[in-house]
Structure 1
Amino acid sequence: MNLKPTRRSFMIRYFIYPYYFLLGIVFYLNFDLSGIDGNNRLFLIGIWIALTVVPGILLAFSRRRFGWFFWPALLNAAGWLIRYVFPEKTYNDLKPLFDNGPVLLFIVAGLLGVVFVEIYRTSFKYDLSDAGVEITHGMFSANSHMIVARHITNVMLKRNFFELMMGVGHVIPVTSSGMGSGDRGVMGGFTTDAGTQNLRGGAFVGSVSTEKEFVANPANCIYGISKPKDVMEKLKEMVL
Protein backbone atom coordinates (compact mmCIF):
# COMPACT_ATOMS: atom_id res chain seq x y z
CA MET A 1 0.00 0.00 0.00
CA ASN A 2 1.54 3.30 -1.14
CA LEU A 3 0.36 6.52 0.50
CA LYS A 4 1.11 10.25 0.48
CA PRO A 5 -0.08 13.15 2.65
CA THR A 6 -3.16 14.85 1.23
CA ARG A 7 -3.37 18.56 0.48
CA ARG A 8 -6.08 18.81 3.13
CA SER A 9 -3.55 17.89 5.82
CA PHE A 10 -1.48 20.95 4.84
CA MET A 11 -4.53 23.20 4.50
CA ILE A 12 -3.18 25.87 6.85
CA ARG A 13 -0.02 26.23 4.78
CA TYR A 14 -2.01 26.22 1.55
CA PHE A 15 -4.10 29.04 3.00
CA ILE A 16 -1.52 31.24 4.73
CA TYR A 17 0.88 31.65 1.78
CA PRO A 18 -1.81 32.69 -0.75
CA TYR A 19 -3.17 34.98 1.98
CA TYR A 20 0.18 36.76 2.26
CA PHE A 21 0.54 36.89 -1.53
CA LEU A 22 -2.93 38.38 -2.13
CA LEU A 23 -2.61 40.71 0.85
CA GLY A 24 0.63 42.08 -0.60
CA ILE A 25 -0.90 42.57 -4.05
CA VAL A 26 -3.98 44.38 -2.68
CA PHE A 27 -1.92 46.54 -0.32
CA TYR A 28 0.62 47.50 -2.99
CA LEU A 29 -2.02 48.42 -5.57
CA ASN A 30 -4.05 50.52 -3.14
CA PHE A 31 -1.51 52.00 -0.73
CA ASP A 32 1.82 53.04 -2.23
CA LEU A 33 3.79 53.91 0.91
CA SER A 34 6.35 55.90 -1.07
CA GLY A 35 3.71 58.57 -1.68
CA ILE A 36 2.22 58.69 1.82
CA ASP A 37 3.75 60.62 4.74
CA GLY A 38 2.99 61.51 8.33
CA ASN A 39 0.32 59.90 10.46
CA ASN A 40 -1.36 58.25 7.50
CA ARG A 41 1.85 56.39 6.72
CA LEU A 42 2.27 55.27 10.34
CA PHE A 43 -1.35 54.12 10.43
CA LEU A 44 -0.96 52.05 7.27
CA ILE A 45 2.30 50.54 8.55
CA GLY A 46 0.52 49.55 11.77
CA ILE A 47 -2.32 47.95 9.80
CA TRP A 48 0.17 46.06 7.63
CA ILE A 49 2.11 44.74 10.63
CA ALA A 50 -1.12 43.59 12.29
CA LEU A 51 -2.33 41.83 9.14
CA THR A 52 0.97 39.97 8.72
CA VAL A 53 2.21 39.29 12.26
CA VAL A 54 -1.05 38.55 14.13
CA PRO A 55 -1.92 35.49 11.96
CA GLY A 56 1.62 34.23 12.61
CA ILE A 57 1.16 34.63 16.37
CA LEU A 58 -2.13 32.73 16.30
CA LEU A 59 -0.59 29.91 14.26
CA ALA A 60 2.48 29.80 16.49
CA PHE A 61 0.44 29.19 19.63
CA SER A 62 -2.09 26.85 18.02
CA ARG A 63 0.56 24.68 16.35
CA ARG A 64 3.32 25.17 18.94
CA ARG A 65 5.77 26.22 16.25
CA PHE A 66 7.06 29.71 16.89
CA GLY A 67 8.64 30.00 13.46
CA TRP A 68 5.15 31.02 12.29
CA PHE A 69 5.64 34.21 14.35
CA PHE A 70 9.32 34.85 13.70
CA TRP A 71 9.44 34.66 9.92
CA PRO A 72 6.68 37.27 9.28
CA ALA A 73 8.36 39.54 11.83
CA LEU A 74 11.76 39.03 10.17
CA LEU A 75 10.35 39.72 6.70
CA ASN A 76 8.88 42.99 7.94
CA ALA A 77 12.11 43.99 9.65
CA ALA A 78 14.18 43.13 6.58
CA GLY A 79 11.82 45.07 4.33
CA TRP A 80 12.02 48.22 6.43
CA LEU A 81 15.76 48.09 7.19
CA ILE A 82 17.18 47.08 3.80
CA ARG A 83 17.14 50.70 2.63
CA TYR A 84 19.93 51.49 5.11
CA VAL A 85 22.24 48.97 3.43
CA PHE A 86 22.35 51.02 0.23
CA PRO A 87 23.65 54.55 -0.42
CA GLU A 88 21.20 57.45 -0.24
CA LYS A 89 21.34 57.92 -4.01
CA THR A 90 20.27 54.32 -4.61
CA TYR A 91 17.41 54.77 -2.15
CA ASN A 92 16.20 57.93 -3.90
CA ASP A 93 16.37 56.26 -7.31
CA LEU A 94 14.40 53.21 -6.12
CA LYS A 95 12.26 54.86 -3.44
CA PRO A 96 8.97 53.09 -4.36
CA LEU A 97 10.68 49.69 -4.05
CA PHE A 98 12.40 50.44 -0.74
CA ASP A 99 9.39 52.13 0.88
CA ASN A 100 7.19 49.17 -0.05
CA GLY A 101 9.91 46.65 0.80
CA PRO A 102 7.95 44.48 3.28
CA VAL A 103 4.92 44.36 0.99
CA LEU A 104 7.02 43.21 -1.96
CA LEU A 105 8.86 40.65 0.18
CA PHE A 106 5.57 39.12 1.32
CA ILE A 107 4.36 38.91 -2.28
CA VAL A 108 7.49 36.97 -3.24
CA ALA A 109 7.45 34.84 -0.07
CA GLY A 110 3.78 34.00 -0.51
CA LEU A 111 4.28 32.88 -4.09
CA LEU A 112 7.38 30.82 -3.30
CA GLY A 113 5.68 29.40 -0.21
CA VAL A 114 2.87 27.83 -2.24
CA VAL A 115 5.40 26.14 -4.52
CA PHE A 116 7.52 24.99 -1.57
CA VAL A 117 4.57 23.47 0.29
CA GLU A 118 3.56 21.41 -2.73
CA ILE A 119 7.13 20.14 -3.20
CA TYR A 120 7.45 19.46 0.54
CA ARG A 121 4.15 17.57 0.72
CA THR A 122 4.86 15.35 -2.28
CA SER A 123 8.35 14.51 -0.97
CA PHE A 124 6.80 12.19 1.65
CA LYS A 125 5.90 8.65 0.63
CA TYR A 126 4.69 5.80 2.84
CA ASP A 127 4.88 2.15 1.81
CA LEU A 128 3.05 -0.38 3.99
CA SER A 129 4.04 -4.02 3.64
CA ASP A 130 4.22 -7.12 5.81
CA ALA A 131 7.76 -6.09 6.74
CA GLY A 132 6.61 -2.77 8.21
CA VAL A 133 6.32 0.87 7.19
CA GLU A 134 8.92 2.43 4.93
CA ILE A 135 9.00 6.23 5.05
CA THR A 136 10.76 8.09 2.24
CA HIS A 137 11.19 11.85 2.22
CA GLY A 138 13.43 14.66 1.09
CA MET A 139 14.46 16.05 -2.26
CA PHE A 140 14.79 13.22 -4.80
CA SER A 141 13.65 10.82 -2.02
CA ALA A 142 17.09 11.11 -0.47
CA ASN A 143 16.06 9.93 3.01
CA SER A 144 14.41 6.65 3.85
CA HIS A 145 13.90 4.52 6.94
CA MET A 146 11.93 1.42 7.82
CA ILE A 147 9.75 0.97 10.89
CA VAL A 148 9.94 -2.81 11.25
CA ALA A 149 6.57 -4.42 11.98
CA ARG A 150 7.84 -6.59 14.83
CA HIS A 151 9.18 -3.50 16.64
CA ILE A 152 5.83 -1.68 16.62
CA THR A 153 4.26 -1.85 20.08
CA ASN A 154 1.38 0.58 19.62
CA VAL A 155 -0.60 2.16 16.79
CA MET A 156 -2.31 5.49 17.34
CA LEU A 157 -4.66 7.61 15.25
CA LYS A 158 -4.23 11.31 15.95
CA ARG A 159 -6.24 14.22 14.54
CA ASN A 160 -7.79 17.41 15.79
CA PHE A 161 -11.37 18.54 15.24
CA PHE A 162 -10.52 20.40 12.05
CA GLU A 163 -8.73 17.37 10.60
CA LEU A 164 -11.66 15.16 11.60
CA MET A 165 -14.02 17.41 9.64
CA MET A 166 -11.63 17.33 6.66
CA GLY A 167 -11.47 13.53 6.72
CA VAL A 168 -7.72 13.26 7.30
CA GLY A 169 -5.57 12.01 10.15
CA HIS A 170 -2.15 10.78 11.22
CA VAL A 171 -1.43 7.12 11.95
CA ILE A 172 1.50 6.91 14.36
CA PRO A 173 3.33 3.58 14.73
CA VAL A 174 5.05 3.69 18.11
CA THR A 175 8.06 1.42 18.49
CA SER A 176 9.75 -0.03 21.54
CA SER A 177 12.52 2.57 21.10
CA GLY A 178 9.98 5.39 21.42
CA MET A 179 9.78 6.51 17.78
CA GLY A 180 6.59 8.46 17.26
CA SER A 181 6.38 9.77 20.80
CA GLY A 182 7.99 12.33 23.05
CA ASP A 183 8.16 13.19 26.73
CA ARG A 184 6.22 16.04 28.28
CA GLY A 185 7.43 17.09 31.70
CA VAL A 186 6.55 19.65 34.35
CA MET A 187 9.47 21.31 36.12
CA GLY A 188 8.48 23.46 39.06
CA GLY A 189 5.50 24.91 37.24
CA PHE A 190 7.23 25.27 33.86
CA THR A 191 6.45 22.76 31.12
CA THR A 192 8.96 21.16 28.80
CA ASP A 193 8.52 18.97 25.75
CA ALA A 194 11.12 16.76 24.15
CA GLY A 195 10.07 14.83 21.10
CA THR A 196 10.86 14.12 17.52
CA GLN A 197 9.31 17.39 16.38
CA ASN A 198 10.23 20.05 18.88
CA LEU A 199 12.18 20.82 22.02
CA ARG A 200 11.27 23.37 24.63
CA GLY A 201 12.62 23.92 28.10
CA GLY A 202 12.03 25.83 31.31
CA ALA A 203 13.75 26.51 34.61
CA PHE A 204 14.28 23.48 36.82
CA VAL A 205 12.68 23.91 40.21
CA GLY A 206 11.83 20.89 42.31
CA SER A 207 10.95 17.45 41.00
CA VAL A 208 10.03 16.46 37.47
CA SER A 209 6.95 14.52 36.40
CA THR A 210 6.67 13.27 32.84
CA GLU A 211 4.04 11.78 30.61
CA LYS A 212 4.35 10.29 27.16
CA GLU A 213 3.06 12.41 24.29
CA PHE A 214 2.46 11.14 20.77
CA VAL A 215 3.86 13.44 18.09
CA ALA A 216 2.60 13.57 14.50
CA ASN A 217 5.55 14.29 12.23
CA PRO A 218 5.57 13.60 8.46
CA ALA A 219 9.04 12.07 8.79
CA ASN A 220 8.18 9.45 11.42
CA CYS A 221 4.50 8.59 10.97
CA ILE A 222 1.91 8.09 8.23
CA TYR A 223 0.97 11.74 8.11
CA GLY A 224 -2.13 13.49 6.80
CA ILE A 225 -3.76 10.64 4.90
CA SER A 226 -7.39 10.19 3.95
CA LYS A 227 -9.36 7.31 5.51
CA PRO A 228 -6.85 7.01 8.36
CA LYS A 229 -8.97 4.46 10.25
CA ASP A 230 -8.65 1.99 7.38
CA VAL A 231 -4.88 2.45 7.37
CA MET A 232 -4.76 2.05 11.14
CA GLU A 233 -6.65 -1.24 10.92
CA LYS A 234 -4.30 -2.43 8.17
CA LEU A 235 -1.29 -1.59 10.32
CA LYS A 236 -2.82 -3.33 13.34
CA GLU A 237 -3.30 -6.49 11.30
CA MET A 238 0.38 -6.40 10.39
CA VAL A 239 1.65 -6.18 13.96
CA LEU A 240 -0.90 -8.30 15.86
Structure 2
Amino acid sequence: MNLKPSRRAFFIRYIIFPYYFVLGIIFYLNFDLSGIDGNNRLFLIFGWIALTVIPGVLLAFSRRRFGWFFWPSLINTAGWLARFIFPENIYMDFKPVFDNGPVLLFMIVSLIAIIYLELYRNTFKYDLSEKGVEISFGFFGANTHMIVSKHITNVMLKRNFLELLLGVGHVIPVTSSGLGTGDKGVVGGFTGDTGTKNVRGGAFIGSTASEKEFVANPKNCIYGVSKPRKVMDSLKELVL
Protein backbone atom coordinates (compact mmCIF):
# COMPACT_ATOMS: atom_id res chain seq x y z
CA MET A 1 0.00 0.00 0.00
CA ASN A 2 1.49 3.31 -1.13
CA LEU A 3 0.27 6.54 0.46
CA LYS A 4 1.02 10.26 0.48
CA PRO A 5 0.07 13.07 2.87
CA SER A 6 -3.07 14.85 1.75
CA ARG A 7 -3.04 18.49 0.74
CA ARG A 8 -5.66 19.17 3.42
CA ALA A 9 -3.37 17.89 6.17
CA PHE A 10 -0.43 20.01 5.04
CA PHE A 11 -2.74 23.01 4.76
CA ILE A 12 -3.70 22.58 8.42
CA ARG A 13 -0.12 21.97 9.54
CA TYR A 14 1.22 25.04 7.74
CA ILE A 15 -1.91 27.17 7.87
CA ILE A 16 0.12 30.15 9.06
CA PHE A 17 1.41 30.75 5.51
CA PRO A 18 -2.03 30.96 3.86
CA TYR A 19 -3.06 33.11 6.83
CA TYR A 20 -0.21 35.57 6.23
CA PHE A 21 -0.87 35.62 2.48
CA VAL A 22 -4.61 36.31 2.80
CA LEU A 23 -4.00 38.81 5.62
CA GLY A 24 -1.53 40.67 3.41
CA ILE A 25 -3.99 40.89 0.52
CA ILE A 26 -6.80 42.15 2.77
CA PHE A 27 -4.54 44.66 4.51
CA TYR A 28 -3.00 45.99 1.30
CA LEU A 29 -6.33 46.41 -0.50
CA ASN A 30 -8.01 48.15 2.43
CA PHE A 31 -5.24 50.02 4.23
CA ASP A 32 -2.66 51.52 1.89
CA LEU A 33 -0.13 52.91 4.39
CA SER A 34 1.34 55.29 1.81
CA GLY A 35 -1.83 57.36 1.93
CA ILE A 36 -2.40 57.33 5.70
CA ASP A 37 -0.67 59.63 8.19
CA GLY A 38 -0.72 60.46 11.87
CA ASN A 39 -2.36 58.37 14.57
CA ASN A 40 -4.30 56.27 12.09
CA ARG A 41 -1.04 55.16 10.52
CA LEU A 42 0.46 54.24 13.89
CA PHE A 43 -2.68 52.33 14.83
CA LEU A 44 -2.55 50.31 11.60
CA ILE A 45 1.17 49.62 11.99
CA PHE A 46 0.74 48.30 15.53
CA GLY A 47 -2.30 46.33 14.41
CA TRP A 48 -0.30 44.72 11.60
CA ILE A 49 2.56 43.86 13.95
CA ALA A 50 0.14 42.23 16.39
CA LEU A 51 -1.60 40.24 13.64
CA THR A 52 1.72 38.87 12.40
CA VAL A 53 3.81 38.43 15.55
CA ILE A 54 1.20 36.92 17.91
CA PRO A 55 0.41 33.93 15.62
CA GLY A 56 4.15 33.27 15.37
CA VAL A 57 4.47 33.23 19.16
CA LEU A 58 1.51 30.85 19.47
CA LEU A 59 3.00 28.58 16.81
CA ALA A 60 6.37 28.60 18.57
CA PHE A 61 4.76 27.24 21.74
CA SER A 62 2.46 24.73 20.07
CA ARG A 63 5.11 23.29 17.72
CA ARG A 64 8.12 23.95 19.95
CA ARG A 65 9.78 25.71 17.03
CA PHE A 66 11.10 28.76 18.80
CA GLY A 67 12.44 30.33 15.64
CA TRP A 68 8.86 31.52 15.13
CA PHE A 69 9.45 33.92 18.00
CA PHE A 70 11.78 35.85 15.70
CA TRP A 71 10.84 35.29 12.03
CA PRO A 72 7.73 37.52 11.93
CA SER A 73 9.62 40.30 13.69
CA LEU A 74 12.56 39.96 11.29
CA ILE A 75 10.31 40.12 8.23
CA ASN A 76 8.54 43.18 9.61
CA THR A 77 11.86 44.86 10.40
CA ALA A 78 13.24 44.10 6.93
CA GLY A 79 10.10 45.50 5.34
CA TRP A 80 10.25 48.75 7.29
CA LEU A 81 14.00 49.28 6.85
CA ALA A 82 14.13 48.52 3.12
CA ARG A 83 13.35 52.15 2.27
CA PHE A 84 16.58 53.33 3.92
CA ILE A 85 18.73 51.21 1.61
CA PHE A 86 17.75 53.21 -1.46
CA PRO A 87 18.19 56.90 -2.32
CA GLU A 88 15.37 59.32 -1.56
CA ASN A 89 14.38 59.73 -5.21
CA ILE A 90 13.86 55.97 -5.62
CA TYR A 91 11.83 55.91 -2.41
CA MET A 92 9.56 58.68 -3.69
CA ASP A 93 9.10 56.93 -7.04
CA PHE A 94 8.06 53.69 -5.32
CA LYS A 95 6.55 55.13 -2.14
CA PRO A 96 3.50 52.80 -2.04
CA VAL A 97 5.80 49.78 -2.28
CA PHE A 98 8.20 50.91 0.44
CA ASP A 99 5.50 52.18 2.81
CA ASN A 100 3.72 48.84 2.56
CA GLY A 101 7.00 46.92 2.65
CA PRO A 102 6.21 44.49 5.50
CA VAL A 103 2.79 43.66 4.05
CA LEU A 104 4.19 42.93 0.60
CA LEU A 105 7.16 41.03 2.02
CA PHE A 106 4.89 38.77 4.07
CA MET A 107 2.82 38.09 0.95
CA ILE A 108 5.89 37.21 -1.12
CA VAL A 109 7.46 34.99 1.56
CA SER A 110 4.15 33.24 2.23
CA LEU A 111 3.50 32.58 -1.46
CA ILE A 112 6.98 31.11 -1.89
CA ALA A 113 6.45 28.97 1.21
CA ILE A 114 3.08 27.68 -0.04
CA ILE A 115 4.58 26.66 -3.39
CA TYR A 116 7.60 25.05 -1.72
CA LEU A 117 5.45 23.10 0.76
CA GLU A 118 3.27 21.72 -2.02
CA LEU A 119 6.38 20.46 -3.81
CA TYR A 120 7.77 19.14 -0.52
CA ARG A 121 4.51 17.34 0.30
CA ASN A 122 4.70 15.43 -2.96
CA THR A 123 8.12 14.05 -2.03
CA PHE A 124 6.63 12.02 0.84
CA LYS A 125 5.82 8.39 0.25
CA TYR A 126 4.60 5.81 2.75
CA ASP A 127 4.95 2.17 1.71
CA LEU A 128 3.11 -0.28 3.99
CA SER A 129 3.96 -3.97 3.87
CA GLU A 130 4.39 -6.98 6.14
CA LYS A 131 7.99 -5.87 6.65
CA GLY A 132 6.85 -2.59 8.19
CA VAL A 133 6.50 1.01 7.09
CA GLU A 134 9.01 2.56 4.72
CA ILE A 135 9.03 6.36 4.78
CA SER A 136 10.81 8.32 2.07
CA PHE A 137 10.89 12.08 1.72
CA GLY A 138 12.98 14.90 0.37
CA PHE A 139 13.62 15.98 -3.17
CA PHE A 140 14.89 13.15 -5.38
CA GLY A 141 14.00 10.72 -2.56
CA ALA A 142 16.99 11.87 -0.57
CA ASN A 143 15.85 10.42 2.77
CA THR A 144 14.46 6.97 3.51
CA HIS A 145 13.98 5.00 6.69
CA MET A 146 12.16 1.83 7.66
CA ILE A 147 10.02 1.16 10.71
CA VAL A 148 10.43 -2.60 10.99
CA SER A 149 7.24 -4.47 11.82
CA LYS A 150 8.75 -6.56 14.62
CA HIS A 151 9.64 -3.35 16.48
CA ILE A 152 6.14 -1.87 16.27
CA THR A 153 4.35 -2.31 19.60
CA ASN A 154 1.34 -0.06 19.06
CA VAL A 155 -0.49 1.78 16.30
CA MET A 156 -2.28 5.02 17.12
CA LEU A 157 -4.67 7.21 15.17
CA LYS A 158 -4.28 10.89 15.99
CA ARG A 159 -6.22 13.89 14.67
CA ASN A 160 -7.60 17.14 15.98
CA PHE A 161 -11.13 18.43 15.52
CA LEU A 162 -10.41 20.25 12.26
CA GLU A 163 -8.64 17.22 10.80
CA LEU A 164 -11.62 15.08 11.83
CA LEU A 165 -13.98 17.43 9.97
CA LEU A 166 -11.78 17.33 6.86
CA GLY A 167 -11.47 13.54 6.93
CA VAL A 168 -7.72 13.26 7.45
CA GLY A 169 -5.58 11.88 10.25
CA HIS A 170 -2.19 10.55 11.26
CA VAL A 171 -1.42 6.88 11.79
CA ILE A 172 1.51 6.64 14.19
CA PRO A 173 3.49 3.38 14.48
CA VAL A 174 4.96 3.35 17.98
CA THR A 175 8.08 1.26 18.49
CA SER A 176 9.76 -0.18 21.55
CA SER A 177 12.55 2.39 21.14
CA GLY A 178 10.06 5.26 21.44
CA LEU A 179 9.72 6.26 17.78
CA GLY A 180 6.42 8.06 17.38
CA THR A 181 6.49 9.59 20.84
CA GLY A 182 7.96 12.72 22.35
CA ASP A 183 8.60 14.10 25.81
CA LYS A 184 6.42 16.67 27.48
CA GLY A 185 7.93 18.39 30.51
CA VAL A 186 6.16 18.30 33.86
CA VAL A 187 7.24 20.33 36.89
CA GLY A 188 6.13 19.41 40.38
CA GLY A 189 6.97 20.28 43.96
CA PHE A 190 6.09 22.62 46.78
CA THR A 191 7.45 25.77 48.35
CA GLY A 192 8.08 26.85 51.90
CA ASP A 193 9.34 29.98 53.59
CA THR A 194 10.36 31.16 57.00
CA GLY A 195 11.67 34.32 58.63
CA THR A 196 10.97 37.28 60.82
CA LYS A 197 8.43 40.02 60.30
CA ASN A 198 10.63 42.02 57.92
CA VAL A 199 12.97 39.38 56.51
CA ARG A 200 11.78 36.16 54.95
CA GLY A 201 13.44 33.40 52.98
CA GLY A 202 12.01 30.60 50.93
CA ALA A 203 12.86 27.59 48.83
CA PHE A 204 11.33 25.37 46.16
CA ILE A 205 11.47 21.63 46.75
CA GLY A 206 10.47 19.49 43.83
CA SER A 207 11.58 17.96 40.59
CA THR A 208 11.05 18.00 36.88
CA ALA A 209 9.85 14.96 35.00
CA SER A 210 8.69 14.06 31.55
CA GLU A 211 5.82 12.06 30.20
CA LYS A 212 5.42 10.48 26.79
CA GLU A 213 3.05 11.89 24.22
CA PHE A 214 2.30 10.74 20.69
CA VAL A 215 3.79 13.07 18.10
CA ALA A 216 2.53 13.32 14.52
CA ASN A 217 5.32 14.33 12.19
CA PRO A 218 5.41 13.66 8.43
CA LYS A 219 8.88 12.15 8.85
CA ASN A 220 8.04 9.54 11.48
CA CYS A 221 4.44 8.48 10.85
CA ILE A 222 1.85 8.01 8.12
CA TYR A 223 0.93 11.65 8.14
CA GLY A 224 -2.28 13.31 7.05
CA VAL A 225 -3.82 10.52 5.00
CA SER A 226 -7.43 10.27 3.91
CA LYS A 227 -9.56 7.55 5.55
CA PRO A 228 -7.01 7.18 8.37
CA ARG A 229 -8.98 4.55 10.30
CA LYS A 230 -8.92 2.25 7.29
CA VAL A 231 -5.16 2.81 6.97
CA MET A 232 -4.72 2.10 10.68
CA ASP A 233 -6.65 -1.18 10.44
CA SER A 234 -4.62 -2.22 7.39
CA LEU A 235 -1.35 -1.50 9.18
CA LYS A 236 -2.44 -3.44 12.26
CA GLU A 237 -3.29 -6.46 10.12
CA LEU A 238 0.11 -6.29 8.45
CA VAL A 239 2.40 -5.84 11.44
CA LEU A 240 0.62 -6.75 14.69
The bucket for the TM-score relative to the shorter chain is 0.7 to 0.9
Return the alpha-carbon distance in structure 2 between the equivalents of residues 216 and 14 of structure 1: 14
- Check the 8 A contact 2:131/2:239 in 1, yes or no: no
Partner of 1:97: 97
Query: Secondary structure in 2 aligned to 1:225?
Result: strand
Structure 1 gap ranges (5+): 190-203
Paired AA for residue 165 in structure 2: M
- Check the 8 A contact 1:13/1:117 in 2, yes or no: no
- Check the 8 A contact 2:33/2:99 in 1, yes or no: yes
Return the alpha-carbon distance in structure 1 between the equivalents of residues 8 and 219 of structure 2: 17
Residue 224 of structure 1: CA displacement?
0.6
Residue 8 of structure 1: CA displacement?
1.6
Aligned pair 1:160/2:160, yes or no?
Answer: yes
Structure 2 gap ranges (5+): 190-203
- State the Cα deviation string for residues 122-154 of structure 1 (Å, max 9, x = none): 121100011110000011211001111111111
Paired AA for residue 169 in structure 1: G
Residue 205 of structure 1: CA displacement?
6.8
Partner of 1:201: none
Residue 101 of structure 1: CA displacement?
0.8
- State the Cα deviation string for residues 15-69 of structure 1 (Å, max 9, x = none): 5433432332343344332333221211221232233334434444555544455
Partner of 1:178: 178
Return the alpha-carbon distance in structure 2 between the equivalents of residues 182 and 159 of structure 1: 16
- State the Cα deviation string for residues 54-107 of structure 1 (Å, max 9, x = none): 443444455554445533222112111233344555544543322211011012
- Cα distance, 1:61–1:139 mapped onto 2, change above 3 Å: same
Aligned pair 1:82/2:82, yes or no?
Answer: yes
Residue 183 of structure 1: CA displacement?
2.2
Which stretch of structure 1 is more off in the superposition, 230-239 or 132-141?
230-239
Matching of residues 103-122 of structure 1 within 5 Å? 103-122=103-122
Aligned length: 226
Return the alpha-carbon distance in structure 2 between the equivalents of residues 205 and 92 of structure 1: 63
Paired AA for residue 31 in structure 1: F
Partner of 1:145: 145
Partner of 1:10: 10
RMSD between aligned alpha carbons? 2.5
Q: Report the TM-score when normalising by structure 2.
A: 0.82
Residue 6 of structure 1: CA displacement?
0.8
Return the alpha-carbon distance in structure 2 between the equivalents of residues 232 and 22 of structure 1: 35
Paired AA for residue 20 in structure 1: Y
Aligned pair 1:213/2:209, yes or no?
Answer: no
Matching of residues 29-108 of structure 1 within 5 Å? 29-88=29-88, 90-108=90-108
Partner of 2:225: 225
- Check the 8 A contact 2:155/2:171 in 1, yes or no: yes
Return the alpha-carbon distance in structure 1 between the equivalents of residues 19 and 11 of structure 2: 12
- Check the 8 A contact 2:169/2:225 in 1, yes or no: yes
Partner of 2:198: none
Paired AA for residue 228 in structure 1: P
Query: Secondary structure in 1 aligned to 2:70?
Result: helix
Identity %: 73
- Cα distance, 1:45–1:208 mapped onto 2, change above 3 Å: closer
- Cα distance, 1:85–1:228 mapped onto 2, change above 3 Å: same
